Amino acid sequence: MDTLRKPIELTEIVWPVFRLGIKQPEVHNQIVYYANQHLYEDNQISTNSYIVDDKNINKNTLGLRRLLIPKQDLYTLSTTIYTLQDLIKLAKPNVWFIDNIGQLFQYKKSTRAKLQTYKIKQVLPVTGIGCVLEIEGFSERFKSMTVPNTERYAAILSYNGKNLLYGLYTENIKTTWRLV
């Protein structure tokens, strides 16, 4: 099994990111995969391997490489993460992720950040998915993947000198802290 490199820094992540699960994938000869074994009643063992990524394929992104791997050999990527705030929400200490260029990593939450709700001032439509939100008390605008329906408040996570849209709420919630 190949060794994994040093822990990844947030600035090194190439989006989108894909959630793999709690089992660490195996890496051998630039191929990232999961091997499953099944023991039958007659003591026969069957092994199946499902490929997450094959860096031997000369393409720049995980998606382009996966297009060239036979479908029956592919490991299913069921959760796609487009933003840091969603990564923060989904990350658990034992969960593995892979980014768009094939870097494997675990996101370790190590610091606390303030989470506070503010009234949504205006919802601006955009071409494509989601909307842009103007939030009371902020000169910056926030991109949301979902358009508010009954939600009138936006939760803003203040982290490392930056403000991240954390979620949308129907009512004002108490100021709290999140591990990030």
Tens digits of per-residue pLDDT, 117-170?
999 999 999 998 899 999 999 999 999 999 999 999 999 999 888 999 999 999
What's the rounded Cα separation, in Å, for the pair 171 and 62?
Answer: 40
Q: In what order do the strands lie in the sheet with 96-99?
A: 79-81, 17-21, 96-99, 104-105
Report the amino acid identity of residue 29. Answer: N
| Average pLDDT taken over every residue of the chain | 92
Q: Is residue 64 over pLDDT 90?
A: yes
- pLDDT score for 3: 46
Per-residue confidence (pLDDT) for residue 6, from 0 to 100: 59
User: Model's pTM, two decimal places?
Assistant: 0.81
- Strand (E) or helix (H) holding 85: helix 84-90
pLDDT, tens digit, 9 for 90 and up, residues 25-39: 999 999 999 998 777
Q: Kindly report the number of other CB atoms within 10 A of residue 4's CB atom.
A: 14
Domain locations along the chain: 10-105, 112-179
